[in-house]
Amino acid sequence: MTNPPDPTPVLDLLTAFRTSAVTFASCSLGVFDQLSAAPASLTALAGRLGADSDALRRLLDACVGLGLLTRDGDVYANTPTAQAYLSRTSPRRLTGYLTYSDRVLWPMWAHLDDAVREGGHRWKQTFDLDGPLFANVFRTEDDKREFLQGMHGFGLLSSPHVVAAFDLSAYRHLVDLGGATGHLAVAACRRYTQLRATVFDLPGVMPQARESIAAEADVAGRVEVKAGDFFIDALPPADLYAVGRIIHDWAEEKIDRLLSAIHAALPAGGALLIAEKLIAPGRDGPRWAQLQSLNMLVCAEGKERTLDEYEGLLKRAGFARVEGRVTASPLDAILAHKGP
């Protein structure tokens, strides 16, 4: 009798959602925030969090098993990873994105099968909204601020890799369209001393963008912010534009309009830098990009693409040459050149 195949991959998938739930619940309860200043005992944490002691112990021990906490007897402490990314005291925190994933993406992913059947996002089915109307999802200004800060933390992981993927020393002015808190503009100016940059985003983002950029004293003088909508307003002049986690959001009609507008605004010899995760040519990975493409199906209009697919979009908009680089970060880099 032939031995059956190893069931471990299926068993791991069977329980994968539980690890997300542990992380979401720990963030929601404030576990990592309570431990950000100093370790604490189970009794002290239960009192501070208003939690059942036995139930909390199970949650904390699960966090130990996931490498998020350490335990010495009944005293728990954040690991460096949790301290950096899961505590609201950290400038690198991803907590806003985790909260968004918990409150918004998790319920919509419950309808993934319907999204696959119908080929569209789940906002109406889940929240009775026609699309990602963030004003309705982010119930307070603090919700919006924490989401932007979570995306900022994500950008700190990826932007230094994206701006290092190509030699950008020939360019003088970068405009980051939808640049949010300015992490890519800051990383670019830090790497290329000849560069100045403009962060171009919606008016509601401007206060947090100014605050984040002002904290980067070594390059703040070379990064400005300008309010606008890149689908409606004239683009600020630049010889290098950037779009990070933008193209994957939209249907092709909107992408074509945006890319054509960027191409028209660029001078001869200018370029567009795109930060997205590339699907491998054989569409067999990487897993992050495959899952993110399904996330776009569930919550947006777009998808992740191969380099060849990006090249098709970009050449259709008039770009002459397209290069791609896979990085060691959550985002890869694409550079599209306007001809002479």
Q: Cα–Cα distance between 155 and 183 in angstroms, integer?
A: 6
Pairing mode, strands 173-177 and 196-201:
parallel
Q: Of residues 121, 152, 183, 248, which has the active-site annotation?
A: 248
What SS3 class is residue 200? strand
Cis status of the peptide bond prior to 281, with omega within 30 of 0: no
Q: What angle do CA 173, 177, 183 make, to 5 degrees?
A: 80
Q: Are 202 and 229 in contact (CB under 8 A)?
A: yes
Integer Cα distance of 103 and 24 in angstroms: 9
Angle between helices 42-49 and 53-65 (to 10 degrees): 110
Partners of 243 in the beta sheet? Answer: 177, 274
Spell out the residues 6+ positions from residue 146 whose beta carbon is closer than 8 angstroms to its own.
Answer: 88, 95, 96, 99
The residue whose two tokens read 């190509």 is 166
The dihedral over CA atoms of 187, 285, 108, 88, expressed in degrees to the nearest 10, equals -30
| In contact, 137 and 123? CB cutoff 8 Å | no
Residue type present at position 263:
H
Q: Which of 25, 36, 96 is nearest to 62 (CA)?
A: 25
Provide the CA 5 distance to its chain's centre, in angstroms: 36
Q: Catalytic: 337?
A: no
Tell me if residue 282 falls in helix, strand or coil.
coil
State the burial class of residue 5 (Cβ atoms within 10 Å of its Cβ: 0-12, 13-18, 19+): exposed
- Contacting residues for 159 by C-beta, under 8 A, at least 6 apart: 183, 184, 186, 187, 188, 244, 275
Cite the active site residues.
248
